[in-house]
Amino acid sequence: MEIFRTVTELVHYALERGLIEKEDRIYCTNRLLEMLRLGNYTETEIPSPARELEELLREIDDYAYENGIIPENTVTYRDLFDTDVMGIFVDRPSNIQAKFRDLYSISPKNATDWFYRLACDSDYIRTYRIKKDVKWVTDSEYGKIDITINLSKPEKDPKDIAAAKLVKASGYPKCALCRENEGYAGSVSSAARQNIRVFSFDMAGTEWFLQYSPYVYYNEHCIAVNRSHVPMKIDRSTFEKLLCFIEKFPHYFIGSNADLPIVGGSILSHDHMQGGRYTFAMERAPIEKPLTFRGYEGVTAGIVKWPMSAIRISGKSKDELVSLADKILRTWRGYSDPDAFIFAETDGEPHNTITPIARRRGDDFELDLVLRNNITTEEHPLGVFHPHKELHNIKKENIGLIEVMGLAVLPSRLKSEIAYMKAAILDHVDFNSIENIKKHRDWFETFKDKYDFTEENTESIIMEEIGKTFVRVLEDAGVYKCTPAGRAAFLRFTDKVNSD
């Protein structure tokens, strides 16, 4: 039978990747036969070269649907099933934690290299989907900016969306980040996680754990998660934790989303941070204006040459950095400057917060403190320091940590819209006559006369203009503009920190 061949190959894949040992082969085969409701089996030859995991799982899912093991042939049910299948091959959490600790004692990088490979080999990170993301780099006055159109999150089938609405939230796990997801079967409304494993560790006196993002927006995109389901909160202890993390994992950076809506991330309900092994444009950006903070003369500080408003502080002493970062945060929380349209609060609602990022620079610890404000007005109902309306055709969503650092995560719709725009431009068709690119018409008008469009260059021109637009998105999100008046206002704030 065809399915026997797939079973043999899948078990062979797990052996080859070191997920299981040869003593586990029969046991895992039997577990797999049980899931596929097969009472009979004959081992087959392994083809050479071995087939890709994606193809094996596709056959497993097809078989499951054709034999009534899964109720619908939708991506949601297929994902639920093949995650359960892959869970067979992933070792128990206690063994994974022990192996991580052993490798960590050799070096932190040794441990994370292995842990990241486990996340990929176990199919928790579906690498064949990540490959679909469209990525390019745009030059700007702030350096090379990364642009990604995210195509790795599969579109939900309307059938599954309808089914998910009927599911009453169980409240277990409390959210997608909770520790209780480890080994969880999932449902039509939440992802299966039989194949995820996490590593628990101490973060400045509290229990946290490390896992990877299944969407990998950049290399080794990891998430550090608070063991407790408590809301995001930026305070002194956040800086302590960030620096604690880069002390434990010096080859990773780590940052936190801000703790207010509009300027925060998509999950504010569970305290977490995101890091990884990747150098963003922001890290490469130099200091444009050195600063000195009274009482912290040992700390190197300055305003970063960056479209968002960032103060960089660095030095050898973690305690000094935490203390200064806390001082800057407390001053900013209560700071208003009507001339620069900065208001600490309106009608009792606080607006000021910080997106902090930590990294090692040689032996030094370094913190970038990005000043954020989430005020809205009638003219800018989504936020004054948020992409403005004329840029919403490219980016309307919140500017969170990853974008702050110079990586645009753009909506998947843009991929097909680029193709439509290219066709319309070459055929001289008005964007207004094509429904899904109407929204780009005014934007296109701003640059169309600069270029001679050809079959060869049109797509790259559109992508280049998208990149430039993202830089303007970041400028909109900066509370102090990169203008003489904006910089003067920025210095009024740093003077206030010094006089507090």
* Least separation in angstroms between CB 211 and Zn ion: 13
List 174, 277, 441, 468, residue binding Zn ion (CB under 5 A): 174
Amino acid in position 122: S
| 101-109, 149-157, 225-233, 431-439 -> range binding Zn ion (CB under 5 A) | 225-233
Q: Which is nearer to Zn ion, 174 or 468 (CB)?
A: 174
Q: Which is nearer to Zn ion, 38 or 267 (CB)?
A: 267
Amino acid in position 250: P
Classify 235 as helix, strand or coil. coil
Q: Which is nearer to Zn ion, 226 or 353 (CB)?
A: 226
Q: Which is nearer to Zn ion, 177 or 263 (CB)?
A: 177
- Cβ-contact 225, 209 below 8 angstroms: yes
List 33, 69, 120, 175, residue binding Zn ion (CB under 5 A): 175
Residues contacting Zn ion: total by CB under 5 A: 6
Q: Which is nearer to Zn ion, 241 or 312 (CB)?
A: 241
List 36, 178, 260, 489, residue binding Zn ion (CB under 5 A): 178
- The one-character DSSP state at 50 is P
Q: Which is nearer to Zn ion, 231 or 295 (CB)?
A: 231
Helix or strand (DSSP H, E) at 428: none
| 167-175, 230-238, 382-390, 419-427 -> range binding Zn ion (CB under 5 A) | 167-175
| 179-187, 207-215, 226-234, 353-361 -> range binding Zn ion (CB under 5 A) | 226-234
Least Cα distance to 265 among 135, 178, 356 occurs for: 356
Q: Which is nearer to Zn ion, 227 or 481 (CB)?
A: 227
Q: How far apart are the C-alpha atoms of 41 and 34, rounded to whole Å?
A: 11
Residue written as tokens 């995210």? 150
- Of 73-112, binders to Zn ion (CB under 5 A) are none
Q: Which is nearer to Zn ion, 98 or 176 (CB)?
A: 176
φ/ψ bin of 213: left (φ > 0), alpha (ψ from -120 to 50), beta (otherwise): beta
Amino acid in position 306: W
Q: Which is nearer to Zn ion, 174 or 439 (CB)?
A: 174
Least Cα distance to 36 among 79, 73, 3 occurs for: 3
Q: How many CB atoms lie within 10 A of CB 251?
A: 15
- Of 250-279, binders to Zn ion (CB under 5 A) are 270
Token pair listed for 150:
């995210």
Q: Which residues contact 361 (CB under 8 A, 6 or more apart)?
A: 314
* Least separation in angstroms between CB 210 and Zn ion: 15
Residue 237 φ then ψ, to 5°: -70, -25
* Least separation in angstroms between CB 143 and Zn ion: 35
* Least separation in angstroms between CB 439 and Zn ion: 35
| 27-35, 105-113, 172-180, 441-449 -> range binding Zn ion (CB under 5 A) | 172-180
Instruction: Please provide the DSSP assignment of 198-247 as one string.
Output: -EEEEETTEEEEEEE-TT-SSTT-EEEEESS------SHHHHHHHHHHHH
The runs of H, that is alpha helices, within 334-457 are: 401-404, 413-426, 441-445
Its sign, for the CA torsion 227, 230, 236, 238, is positive
Triad 137, 142, 144: Cα angle to 5°: 20
List 58, 132, 229, 289, residue binding Zn ion (CB under 5 A): 229
| 5-13, 166-174, 207-215, 383-391 -> range binding Zn ion (CB under 5 A) | 166-174
Q: What is the CA radius of gyration of the chain?
A: 25
Q: How far apart are the C-alpha atoms of 101 and 97, rounded to whole Å?
A: 6
Q: Which is nearer to Zn ion, 198 or 370 (CB)?
A: 198
* Least separation in angstroms between CB 229 and Zn ion: 4
Q: Which residues pair with 208 in a beta bridge?
A: 201, 226
* Least separation in angstroms between CB 47 and Zn ion: 43
* Least separation in angstroms between CB 185 and Zn ion: 17
Query: How many H helices and E strands in the chain?
Result: 16, 15
* Least separation in angstroms between CB 193 and Zn ion: 13
Q: How far apart are the C-alpha atoms of 38 and 122, rounded to whole Å?
A: 23
Classify 347 as helix, strand or coil. coil
| 81-89, 171-179, 298-306, 314-322 -> range binding Zn ion (CB under 5 A) | 171-179
Q: Which is nearer to Zn ion, 14 or 178 (CB)?
A: 178
* Least separation in angstroms between CB 177 and Zn ion: 5
* Least separation in angstroms between CB 79 and Zn ion: 21
Residue ranges that bind Zn ion, judged by CB under 5 A? 174-175, 177-178, 229, 270
